[in-house]
Amino acid sequence: MRIAHHLILSLLLAFLAGQPVGAVGSADALFDQGMQAYVAGGFAQAATNFREASALRITAGTLHNLGNAEWQSGHAGAAILAWEQAQWLDPFNPDTRGNLRFARKAAQVESPELAWYEICSAWLPVNAWAWLATVSFWIAATMVILPGVLRWRKADWQQGLAAAGFAVLLITLPALVGVHTRAQLGVVVSAATPLRLTPTQQAQVLAKLPAGESARLERQRGNYVFIRTATAGGWVERGQFGLVASSNSNP
Amino acid sequence: MIPAGLRLSAVPQFALLLLLLLPAHSAHGQSPPPTVLRPRQPLPTVRVNPGSLSINPQGQIDQFDQMVGSSASIDLDSPVTVRAEFEPATAALGQRITYRLILSALDESVEKLTTLPAPPGLKLSAGGRAQSYQPGPTGRLQPQTTLNFRATVTASGEFVVPAFTIKAYGKDVAVPAARLTVTSPGAAVAAEAPHLLFELPAGDIYVGQPLRVSLILADSADGSLQGPPQQPAIVGESIFVEPQALGARHELIQRNGRSFPAYVMEMVFTPVREGRQTLVAQATSYGRRPVPGQPGAIQFAQILLDSDPLEMTVLPLPKEGVLPGFTGAIGNYQVDAPVISTNEVVAGEVIVLNMHVRGEGNLGRLTPPKLSPLREWMTYPPITESAPPMMIQQRGYANFSYTLIPLSDRVKATPAIPFCCFDPKRKVYVDLTIPPVPITVHPVAAGAAMRSPGADGGTGGNAAETAAREHEPILSGLVEHPGPGAGALRPGQESGWFWAAQSIPAAILAGITWRARRRRYLAAHPAVLRQRRARRGLRRQLQVARRAAAARDARGYVTGAISALREACAPHGAANPDSLVCADILRELPAEDRQGPGAEMVRRFFAAADSLRYGGPVNDGAELLARQPELEQLLKRLGARI
């Protein structure tokens, strides 16, 4: 009976997390294998394991370790991208933040320039703002609608709760905009990536971007994406640029 | 010391003046003020080698400089003379010919010749260039710079390099004309001039690859050269040559199908730039030379020997496949298992990890990989041996040591140190990562402060440096747990499920609203609730009666039927169904049933129920069961009225 309860609970949790139970188990196994390979000095193997684990189940810890393994493998761009993604999910981890500082200093690349609302959006995990906005909106809406519907006597706490809900909602709106614009941030993953004038192979090369350079995605065309760094804008090949909020964790 | 602009060289008078002035200061018994000399005109910068006189601020002559200055007297005053010659002056077509300029000037003062006024049919290309000191006519040593050029002719005949000028010490110096006679091939001419043989190793050559080459000088049987060659060197545009030869030997050389005794010197040089460049090997030796101006007279003099120019193509290192920890090591190396000073320490104590590299390559100049800063380790830059590179090279292995301090008792092994080399033969990067060594780190005893690595002055630094180091970003270790999963990296607000999820609270709120309104409606219309309850009760009791009839259970059938009749009639009287009696039911029957068989059936059911209530048998049970369709018709009619 207890086993059945556990099974049902696992299935329910996996369903809620949107992940198959088998995927969770194999992701953990790959995570452990990556840890062992990293400790043994097999950084390339560790990076492969962490990447596969991340493809099965994206977690901040896996992405953090993926960044470490990529950095030790000499892939500064991929490492910075993985740490950015880890920080995107968990901005409270000081190790990830320190690694990003370390890597950017070593690779001599700058952090992306963020607007004030983007800085605000980085205070909490990326989805926390959306949920906060949701909860605050519905609390406010409930406090406005329910007393009338249920014929409650108007009370100060109801109006206070509604006001607080709307206030929190207003605060979250800039952060939501910041999350939306930060979703277009990315990292150049290949060293000496040519920044082209037009989205063609024969295009004039405007500059060579170092691995780890941050840029914003503006538009896409075929196999090329138009990105804008702090100093220049141009087209790069899609595979040489990884979005922090990409649909998968691999660049 | 003398100011930099006053490097004494060809200004011995100036130095003498200084020497004369110094006792005057000393005579006053005071420490003389620093001597500041400001010449009004720029002095010619000619370096005296070896050494230059220098005077310290106290006005005393540097003892070392005095010793060096007294060891030799260099003649830099005599006019520069130039000698130009072909060797041999008469050569057969195809024979090796050297055009040589010998100047009595320092090498650094002689300009680099880019073009020479060669006549048509004669091509001169740069060869060796060296400086030596020879006894001059005044009895002092005279610098002698020799410039060799490789002469190539395409036809026999007379070739004259006309007189021209060359700059030495910034002045024009006349170079006399030189004559070369080239005869047809096979004609009896002088023997070929001695020269060096030099070949590059087979295979591709990469930037930074140490190349070990042999310089070969044939031992002349006729005694034209005396002793082994000196000052071997390889000259090129962008190469780094180890200052010392690895060794010289005399052996029998097999070359072009013949064997001959030769001097062999091993040298190592490293190309530092990719692309094509020309190399020339050179060395000096003593040999017989004709005395200028005395036909037939022979003297032994130091001569510059060189090799034919060699074209070398240097490739860049491949960018693909570079492994972590590449520090420029090119060759075939192996790393032995690392050795640590101890494998059991207390957090904060020092561990020394020794690394042993052996193999083929430039071991003497190998750069050990640096260890990235780690959160749980205090690391220091690797320490290389202090032995000279040539000694390490000849020994065949190099040692490096890492000073590591574990900062936590969670550490289980030394960190892996990424390292790799490029193997030019296989043309791949080879992983030489130094593996971790298991260690046991004990926690610091309670009450004992962990010794700060910087506190003992080992790494030096004051509080500010320590604080700066603490704020220096470092690479953290791994996270031990993956943490909670996230569905995707895309923001939730941009996903469809997020907006779909908003329908849940909306639906809840709408439900609450509907329910509240419905409740108010029902409160205003209680008959609706009674009717609903009656319909529900009628269905339930009718099911009971049917099940009992199917089981031929007269008692259950009668009970169910009575309950169904009560449920169907209760709403009309606004009464509790259980409180209704037969008369109440009959009153609620449709008008056509009140006097007919319907009323009679109801009475019989109630009579049977009364009998049951008082413990008697069910009267007419079989007949009542047989009237089930009639009962259901009645109930249907009653139900339609609810």
Expressed as residue numbers, the domain containing A64 is 2-107
Secondary structure of B624-638 in the HEC alphabet? HHHCHHHHHHHHHHH
The pTM of this model reads 0.51
Are A168 and A150 part of one and the same domain? Answer: yes
DSSP assignment of B400-457 equals EEEEEEE--TT--BPPPB--EEEETTTTEEEE-PBPP-B-EEEPPPTTPPPPPTTTTS
CATH number for the domain that contains residue A239: 2.30.30.40
Measured in residues, chain B has a length of 642
CA distance A101 to A81: 13
Residues A78 and A130 in one domain: no
Whether A64 contacts chain B with CB within 8 A: yes
User: Would you say residue A160 lies in a domain?
Assistant: yes
Q: A107, A135, A156: which is the final residue of a domain?
A: A107
At residue A96, the 3 state secondary structure works out as helix
- Contact flag B478-A102 (C-beta cutoff 8 Å): no
How far apart (Å, rounded) are the C-alpha atoms in residues B545 and B562? 9
Q: Return d(Cα A243, Cα A225) in angstroms, integer.
A: 11
Q: How many CA atoms lie within 13 A of B226 on its CB side?
A: 9
B418: which 2 tokens?
Answer: 């990424």
Dump pLDDT digits (tens) for A11-55: 444 444 445 555 666 888 999 999 999 888 888 999 999 999 999
Cβ distance B129 to B102 under 8 Å?
no
Euclidean distance between the first and final Cα of chain A, in Å? 45
Residue that the structure tokens 């006024």 belong to: B117
Model confidence pLDDT, tens digit, residues B60-113: 667 777 676 666 677 787 889 898 988 888 888 888 888 999 998 998 889 888
| CATH number, domain with residue A84 | 1.25.40.10
User: Which residues on chain A are in Cβ contact (under 8 Å) with B498?
Assistant: 130
Using omega within 30 degrees of 0 as the cis cutoff, is the peptide bond preceding B88 cis?
yes
Q: What percentage of chain B reaches a pLDDT higher than 70?
A: 83
d(CA B36, CA B381): 43
Which of residues A107, A130, A157 is at a domain's end? A107
Cα-based distances in Å from A221 to A191, A199, B156, B403: 22, 7, 69, 52
Backbone angles phi, psi at B143, to 5 degrees: -65, 145
Most confident residue range from A232-236, B31-35, B293-297: A232-236
User: Residue B565 and residue B362: Cα distance in Å, rounded?
Assistant: 110
Under an 8 A CB cutoff, do B473 and A151 touch?
Answer: no
Please give the residue of chain A at the shortest CA–CA distance from B471.
Answer: A98
pLDDT at B10: 37
Q: Does A222 touch chain B (CB under 8 A)?
A: no
pLDDT given for residue A17 in this prediction = 47
State yes or no: pLDDT of A181 exceeds 90.
yes
What does the buried/exposed string (b/e) look like for A45-68 if buried means 16 or more CB atoms within 10 Å of the residue's CB?
bbbbbbbbbbebbbbbbbbbbbbb
- pLDDT given at position B511: 94
How far is it, in rounded angstroms, from Cα B220 to Cα B227? 10
What are the distances in angstroms from CA B633 to CA B598, B627, B637?
9, 10, 6
A19 and A91 in a single domain? The answer is yes
% chain B with pLDDT above 90: 17
| β partners of residue B82 | B103
User: Is the pLDDT confidence value at A248 over 80?
Assistant: no
- Same CATH fold, B196-315 and B82-183? yes
Q: Please count the other Cβ atoms lying within 10 Å of the Cβ belonging to residue B128.
A: 25
Claim to verify: residue A173 and residue A94 sit in the same structural domain: no
Kindly give the residue spans of alpha helices, DSSP state H, lying in B433-553.
463-471, 496-501, 503-524, 526-550
Q: Give B566→chain A minimum CA distance, Å.
A: 36
Q: Provide the token pair at A60.
A: 């901040």
My answer on whether A172 and A193 are in the same domain is no
Beta bridge partners, B304, equal: B284
Single out the residue in A70, A89, A107 at which a domain terminates: A107
pLDDT digits (tens, 9 = 90+) for A72-96: 888 999 999 999 999 999 999 988 9
Task: Report yes or no on A213 lying in a domain.
Answer: yes
**Amino acid residing at A176:** L
State phi, psi for B603 to the nearest 5 degrees. -60, -45
CA angle B15, B17, B20 (to 5 degrees): 110
Residue A250 lies in a domain: no
Same domain as A193, residue A167: no
Whether A251 is covered by a domain: the verdict is no
Task: Give the architecture-level CATH label for domain B196-315.
Answer: Sandwich (2.60)
Given an 8 Å threshold on Cβ–Cβ distance, is A38 in contact with B478?
A: yes
Specify the higher pLDDT residue, B74 or B284.
B284
For B156, B182, B488, the CA distances from B91, given in Å and listed in that order, are 9, 5, 84
Which residue is it, tokens 């490293």?
A: B270
CB neighbours of B469 closer than 8 A, spacing ≥ 6? Answer: B454, B461
Largest CA distance in chain B: 172
Q: Are residues A86 and A174 in the same domain?
A: no
Per-residue pLDDT reduced to its tens digit, B514-532: 999 999 998 998 888 888 8
Of the candidates B239, B267, B515, the one whose C-alpha atom is nearest the C-alpha of residue B390 is B267
Query: In angstroms, rounded to a whole number, what is the distance separating the alpha carbons of residues B431 and B411?
Result: 25
Q: How many CB atoms lie within 10 A of CB B268?
A: 21
pLDDT band at B35 (very low <50, low <70, confident <90, very high): very low
Domain ranges of chain B: 4-71, 82-183, 196-315, 339-442, 526-641
Whether residues A28 and B501 touch (CB distance < 8 A) is answered with no
ipTM: 0.79
Total structural domains within chain A: 3
Q: What is the pLDDT of residue A74?
A: 86
Instruction: Select the residue of B319, B412, B483 nearest A61 (Cβ to Cβ).
Output: B483
What are B559's two structure tokens?
A: 């009970």
- The pLDDT-based confidence of B195 (bands split at 50, 70, 90) is confident
CA separation for the pair B260, B255 (Å, rounded): 8
* Residue A112 in domain: no
Residue A215 counted as domain residue: yes
More confident residue, B595 or B5: B595
Strand B247-255 to B310-315 pairing: unpaired
Distance, in angstroms, between B496 CA and closest chain A CA?
A: 13
CATH number of B82-183: 2.60.40
Strand residues in B257-408 grouped as ranges (E): 258-271, 275-290, 298-306, 310-315, 326-335, 339-340, 344-346, 351-361, 377-379, 383-384, 397-406
pLDDT at B252 over 60: yes
Residue B252 sits at the vertex; the CA angle it makes with B249 and B256, to the nearest 5 degrees, is 125
Does residue A102 belong to the interface with chain B, where contact is any CB pair within 8 Å? Answer: yes
Cβ(A87)–Cβ(A93) below 8 Å: yes
- Residue B512 CA neighbour count, 13 Å, CB half: 15
Contact residues on chain B for A176, CB-CB shorter than 8 A? 493
Nearest-Cα residue of chain B relative to residue A15: B487
- Whether residue A248 is contained in a domain is answered as no
For chain B, say whether A17 makes contact (Cβ under 8 Å): yes
Interface contact A176-B484, CB threshold 8 A? no
Which two structure tokens, joined as six digits, stand for B500? 């779909």
- Is B486 in contact with A28 (Cβ distance < 8 A)? no
pLDDT of residue A23: 60
* A-B contacts at Cβ under 8 angstroms: 157
